């Protein structure tokens, strides 16, 4: 990855994409595809040709790849090529030559093409970054967040040996991170007594909520069989969704969405319970909604609470 989160593009990958474009489509189609990523894209302006002079096909392909590379859009442009190869464009089938070679090159760089979301994501044994390798520095995205906070942290730290606290808190951090990543989330930060996980993609509210529920279930088992504390470890878990600017140093992020999440967790969430905001709750569907109970926080506002119960 480069400093701004863009994938480092090698010469071989560039050549494969140039060959794919120049052998698979007209200059007009190249320009149309590029415009779906870079608005008002104009090859004549970018190359410096008068509008009356046709742009050679190879020159057009090289310019498109150059611009996509400069803006960090090569994976996104490849996603578009995959879509066109599968579904065509304007009712016309357009097989993309060398497409599998392009995909292979990107996957060798530590990315995998996710068929469900139709995007390239960090995969395999590569590193996991807070932005999934696709969020861009300084841009704002609609994301869902799970906040986890240990109840009575100060008393616990005073009561138990440092080694006991470290072991217990590390279990919670590792478990939260594993659960989040299994649901295509990312653990954005951990401050010792709690942390923040982010979720992206179409079903982000559902995945964030299920991650919170799963954490409470695993914590219940941990308290029953493994917890070294004399009393059960308690956490508060809250889920909220909304716009948030992405910064690679996540501690620097200032967001009204995260401030609202903090308020839900600290004011309205019970120990070993989960609270979700209305924007999350109404996206859950009937199968999940029935496990939540509304809690009034003002005359017109509610949060929705979940607690693990045994029948």
Residue 217 and residue 204 in contact, taking contact as beta carbons nearer than 8 Å: no
Residue 163 tokens, joined: 């080694």
> Do 172 and 274 belong together in one domain?
yes
CATH code where residue 208 lies? 3.30.70.1230
Whole-number Å distance between alpha carbons of 30 and 62? 11
Asked if residue 4 belongs to a domain, the reply is: no
Which residue among 94, 122, 150 closes a domain? Answer: 122
Domain boundary among 73, 95, 122: 122
Q: Could you tell me the pTM of the whole model?
A: 0.88
Q: Are residues 113 and 256 in the same domain?
A: no
What residue spans of the chain are helical by DSSP H? 11-24, 27-35, 43-47, 57-71, 74-87, 99-108, 153-159, 162-182, 204-225, 256-268, 278-281, 286-289
Note whether 193 and 158 are same-domain residues. Answer: yes
Backbone angles phi, psi at 294, to 5 degrees: -70, 145
Say if residue 241 is in the same domain as residue 96: no
Look at the chain and count its residues: 311
Residue 67 located in a structural domain: yes
**Tokens at 122, concatenated:** 């960090």
273 φ, ψ to 5°?
-130, 170
Report which of 157, 149, 1, 9 is spatially closest to residue 70, judged by C-alpha positions: 9
Q: Are residues 94 and 171 both part of a single domain?
A: no
Q: Is residue 72 part of a domain?
A: yes
Contacts of range 29-35, beta carbons closer than 8 Å, 24 or more positions apart: 29/89, 29/94, 30/60, 30/61, 30/64, 31/60, 31/64, 32/89, 33/64, 33/77, 33/80, 33/81, 33/84, 33/89, 34/64, 34/67, 34/68, 34/77
Domain span at residue 279? 140-307
Q: Say what the pLDDT of residue 2 is.
A: 40
Using DSSP bridges, classify how beta strands 185-190 and 194-199 pair: parallel, antiparallel or unpaired: antiparallel
Instruction: Flag whether 36 is in a domain.
Output: yes
- Express each pLDDT in 289-307 by its tens digit: 999 999 999 988 999 999 9
Please count the structural domains in the chain. 2
- 257 and 148 assigned to the same domain: yes
Same structural domain, 251 and 156: yes
Quick check: is 109 in a domain?
A: yes
Same domain, yes or no: 59 and 108 = yes
Residue 223: C-alpha distances to residues 187, 215, 217, 309 (Å): 22, 12, 10, 15
Could you tell me if 158 and 205 lie in one domain?
A: yes
Same domain assignment for residues 85 and 39: yes
> Residue 6 domain-assigned?
no
- For residue 223, the model assigns a pLDDT of 97
Identify the DSSP state of 249.
S
- Angstrom distance (rounded) from CA 282 to CA 276: 10
Are 114 and 242 within one domain?
Answer: no
Per-residue model confidence (pLDDT) at position 62: 98
Single out the residue in 88, 122, 156 at which a domain terminates: 122
The answer to whether residues 179 and 209 belong to one domain is: yes
Low-confidence ranges of the chain (pLDDT < 50): 1-5
Q: pLDDT at position 300, please?
A: 87
pLDDT, tens digit, 9 for 90 and up, residues 89-135: 988 999 999 999 999 999 998 899 999 889 998 876 656 789 998 89
Provide the terminal-to-terminal Cα distance of the chain, rounded to the nearest Å: 49
Q: What would the pLDDT profile of 173-193 be if each residue is shown by its tens digit?
A: 999 999 999 999 999 999 989
């Amino acid at each position: 990855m480069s400093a701004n989160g863009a994938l480092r593009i090698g010469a071989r990958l560039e050549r494969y994409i140039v060959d794919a474009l120049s052998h698979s489509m007209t200059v007009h189609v190249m320009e149309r595809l590029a415009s779906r990523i870079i608005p008002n894209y104009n090859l004549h302006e970018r190359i410096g040709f008068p509008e009356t002079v046709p742009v050679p096909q190879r020159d057009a392909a090289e310019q498109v790849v150059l611009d996509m590379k400069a803006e960090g859009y090569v994976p996104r442009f490849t996603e578009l090529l995959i879509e066109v190869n599968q579904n065509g464009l304007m009712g016309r089938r357009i097989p993309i030559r060398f497409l599998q070679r392009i995909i292979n090159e990107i996957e060798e760089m530590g990315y995998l093409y996710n068929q469900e979301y139709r995007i390239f994501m960090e995969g395999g044994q590569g590193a996991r970054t807070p932005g999934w390798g696709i969020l861009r520095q300084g841009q704002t995205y609609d994301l869902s967040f799970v906040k986890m906070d240990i109840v009575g942290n100060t008393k616990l730290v005073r009561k138990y040996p440092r080694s006991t606290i470290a072991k217990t808190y590390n279990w919670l951090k590792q478990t939260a991170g594993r659960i989040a990543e299994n649901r295509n989330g990312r653990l954005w930060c951990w401050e010792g007594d709690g942390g923040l996980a982010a979720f992206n993609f179409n079903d982000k509210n559902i995945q964030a909520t299920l991650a919170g529920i799963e954490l409470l279930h695993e914590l219940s088992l941990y308290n029953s069989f493994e917890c070294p504390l004399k009393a059960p470890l308690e956490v508060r878990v809250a889920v909220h969704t909304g716009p948030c600017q992405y910064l690679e140093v996540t501690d620097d992020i200032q967001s009204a969405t995260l401030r609202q999440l903090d308020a839900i967790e600290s004011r309205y969430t019970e120990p070993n319970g989960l609270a979700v905001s209305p924007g999350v709750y109404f996206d859950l569907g009937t199968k999940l909604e029935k496990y939540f109970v509304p809690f009034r926080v003002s005359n017109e506002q509610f949060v929705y609470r979940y607690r693990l119960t045994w029948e």
